[in-house]
């Protein structure tokens, strides 16, 4: 039975450092950072994660290392917050790629002005981006992406131990250069609708040259939306397949980053 009354000063400090990393991860990671989760629930999740990890993380070696570094306690606390926020941000790259795809599709179809609140990114987004985000969330949860996130944050204590001031800054440059992969994947996800919209616009341009009496601007709006929606629903199986691959790629990048941080 876990009891705070049985902990000494160094163990309490260790618990606090672990809690800082866990809480920073929860408030910045995908799924957990959603506005639909209340602040008390996020605090509870952070405490549960900390209690589960405490016995394995607070080894004798780690406690000795912390007792020798108590003079640098503020730096250690800042490091734990930084590690948690960085790891949480990495998990959100999956949804950033999906948001890019939704934004491209929405602008291509002429629906970019319809703005709704997106709880996954905590910002205003258009209707198509919200549609893509909902599908991505279902795919992410169905493939146990949240389980992999929890596993990853616990494994981070092995690759990046508590009470050490070292930080793999070289891994940050590799990570920044790897973000372009998510941008490319976002463009690939939106490719079916985007290509169909290019073809529609070329067709409407040719139609305006052949039949100048037609009001192309007025007609193209309804035609673009109709063909865009039809293309979107026809390509839904491909969309789900691409998102499944994106989940695998995101998690592989997440665990690769864990080894280099």
pLDDT digits (tens, 9 = 90+) for 191-203: 999 999 889 888 8
Place of tokens 């503020």: 74
Count CA atoms closer than 13 A to 192's CA, side-chain side: 15
Q: Quote the CA–CA distance of 232 and 241 in Å, as a whole number.
A: 14
pLDDT, the chain, mean: 82
The Cα-based distances of 131 to 12, 51, 69, 104 in angstroms read 45, 37, 49, 13
At residue 4, does pLDDT exceed 70? no
* pLDDT at position 257 over 90: no
Cα distance between residue 97 and residue 62, in whole Å:
38
Of 40-49, 71-80, 134-143, 160-169, minimum mean pLDDT range: 160-169
pLDDT of residue 174: 67
For residue 114, name the pLDDT band (cuts at 50, 70, 90).
low
pLDDT digits (tens, 9 = 90+) for 8-18: 788 888 888 89
Distance CA 166, CA 113 (A): 46
pLDDT in tens, 84-106: 888 888 888 888 888 889 888 88
- Taking CA atoms, 210 is separated from 152, 206, 207, in Å, by 60, 6, 5
pLDDT at 76: 86
24 pLDDT more than 90: yes
Give 228: exposed, middle or buried? Use CB within 10 Å, 0-12, 13-18, 19+. Answer: buried
d(CA 36, CA 151): 23
CA angle 115, 121, 126 (to 5 degrees): 20
pLDDT of 168 reads: 62
Q: The whole model's pTM is what?
A: 0.80
**For the chain, where are the alpha helices, taking DSSP H only?**
9-28, 39-57, 60-67, 73-91, 93-109, 127-142, 145-159, 169-210, 216-234, 236-260
Beta bridge partners of 124: 117
The rounded distance, in Å, linking the Cα atoms of 202 and 190 is 18
């Amino acid at each position: 039975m876990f009891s705070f009354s049985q902990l000494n000063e160094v163990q309490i400090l260790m618990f606090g450092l672990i809690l800082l990393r866990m809480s920073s991860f929860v408030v910045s990671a995908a799924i957990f950072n959603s506005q639909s989760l209340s602040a008390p629930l996020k605090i509870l999740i952070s405490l549960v994660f900390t209690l589960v990890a405490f016995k394995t993380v607070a080894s004798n070696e780690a406690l000795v290392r912390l007792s020798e570094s108590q003079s640098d306690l503020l730096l250690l606390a800042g490091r734990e917050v930084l590690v948690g926020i960085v790891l949480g941000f990495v998990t959100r790259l999956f949804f950033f790629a999906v948001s890019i795809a939704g934004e491209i599709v929405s602008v291509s179809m002429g629906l970019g002005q319809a703005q709704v609140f997106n709880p996954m990114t905590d910002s205003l987004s258009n209707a198509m981006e919200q549609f893509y985000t909902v599908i991505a969330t279902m795919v992410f949860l169905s493939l146990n992406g949240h389980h992999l996130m929890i596993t990853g944050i616990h494994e981070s204590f092995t690759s990046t131990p508590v009470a050490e001031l070292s930080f793999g800054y070289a891994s940050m440059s590799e990570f920044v250069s790897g973000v372009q992969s998510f941008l490319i994947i976002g463009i690939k996800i939106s490719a079916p609708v985007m290509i169909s919209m290019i073809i529609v616009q070329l067709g409407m341009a040719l139609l305006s040259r052949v039949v100048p009496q037609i009001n192309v601007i007025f007609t193209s709006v309804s035609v673009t939306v109709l063909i865009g929606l039809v293309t979107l629903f026809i390509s839904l199986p491909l969309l789900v397949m691409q998102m499944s691959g994106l989940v695998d790629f995101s998690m592989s990048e997440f665990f690769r980053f864990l080894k280099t941080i």
